[in-house]
Structure 1
Amino acid sequence: MLTSNLVVGAGLHLNTGDIVFQLVIFLILLALLRKYALGPVMNMMKQREEHIASEISASEAKHAEAKKLAEEQRELLKQARLESQGLVESAKKLGEKQKEEIIQVARSEAERLKQSAFKEIAQEKEQAVAALREQVASLSILIATKVIEKELNEKEQEKLIQDYIKEVGEGR
């Protein structure tokens, strides 16, 4: 090996042979590191980068799907609200219709009962009038027979009429 010594300045001494030897060893070490350490590390870093990129894209895809599902859920909720409002409205309309029908039936039933009561009152009135006529007729016959039986003067006839009126009054 070549050994050369250079003297630089005051007290500095350089050994170029050692420098060249160290430089060659450093280059060999660098080549070995590149081949055996740097290559696999770079491959690992590239794989890690690809893995992270795939995880990010999968995460973005899941995020997009979640947004889509959330939007679908909002739309379904909106439709459910509209349907429930429609059901409430139809139930209200049905309730109003049934209310009107019940009121109409009640009014017609009240009118029927009123007409029935008027008919019954008229029949009772007719029966009362007929009974009164029969009583008046029988009383008239009774008075006539008593008057015929007795020939009375005017005072006695007046007393007899008053007695019969009292009897009729008590009979009621």
Structure 2
Amino acid sequence: MLTSSFVLGSAEAAHKAINAGDAVFQLVMFLILLALLKKFAWGPLMGIMKQREDHIANEINEAENNRVEAQKLLDEQRNLLKEARQEAQNLIENAKKQGDVQRDEIIKTARAESDRLKEQAKIEIEQQKENAVAAIREQVASLSVLIASKVIEKELNAKDQEKLINEYIQEAGEDR
């Protein structure tokens, strides 16, 4: 029994020594594996993650720059639209003013033409009136001569003279 316990004791000790040796071996292997993983897996993985992080940061910066550029363009377009509206309003106002000036000129010209036509009509009326008066005077003179010649031919009383004047006036009216 003693031998068996000694064998058991040495086997246990050997087993424990093997376990410690195995543990050291496993620890060394783990460290080597860890170094290999760090070099071949963790390093590239972290590089890829860093690239991805940089890529995402660049995308965010680019998106922010695009947003700022778009806002700037939008503000510029709004300003251009505002200027165009103001310019259109100015053109409309200028057109209205020009239309008012032209209207006033047309009215002034029409009034001047109307006044000229009135004056010309007055002159024509005055000439026609003078012509009519001259024609009446001529007729009165020829009637007077005619009446005088008739009176000379015969002596008339007032009644006959009035009758004779009325006849000659009627004749003169029919000649016209």
TM over 0.5: yes
Partner of 2:108: 104
Please report how far the alpha carbon of residue 46 of structure 1 lies from its aligned counterpart in structure 2 after TM superposition: 1.0
Residue 21 of structure 1: how far off its partner (Å)? 4.2
Deviation at 1:68, TM superposition (A): 1.3
Runs of 4+ more than 4 Å apart: 15-21, 152-156
2:142 counterpart of 1:131: no
Among all aligned residue pairs of Structure 1 and Structure 2, give the percentage whose two residues are the same amino acid: 63
- Give the number of the structure with larger relative contact order, counting CA–CA contacts within 8 Å between residues 6 or more apart: 2
User: Alignment length, in residue pairs?
Assistant: 164
* TM-score normalised per structure 1: 0.82
Q: Deviations over 1:84-112 (max 9, x none)?
A: 11111111111111111111111111111
Gaps of 5+ in 2: 1-12
Give the Cα separation in 1 of the matches to 2:83 and 2:168: 91
**1:59 shift after superposition:** 1.8
- Look up the match of 1:150: 154
Which residue of the other structure, out of 51, 59, 64, is the alignment partner of 1:60?
64
- 1:89 matched to which residue of 2? 93
Deviation, structure 1 residue 162: 3.2
**Higher strand proportion (structure 1 or 2):** 1
Residue of structure 2 in register with 1:113 after alignment: 117
SS at match of 1:116: helix
Structure 2 vs 1, CA of residues 82 and 39 (structure 1 numbering), >3 Å: closer, same or farther? same
CA distance in 2, matches of 1:16, 1:149: 189
2:31 maps to 1:27: yes
The structure with the greater share of residues assigned to helix is 2
Give the root-mean-square deviation of aligned CA atoms: 2.4
Contact 1:5 1:16 in 2 (8 A): yes
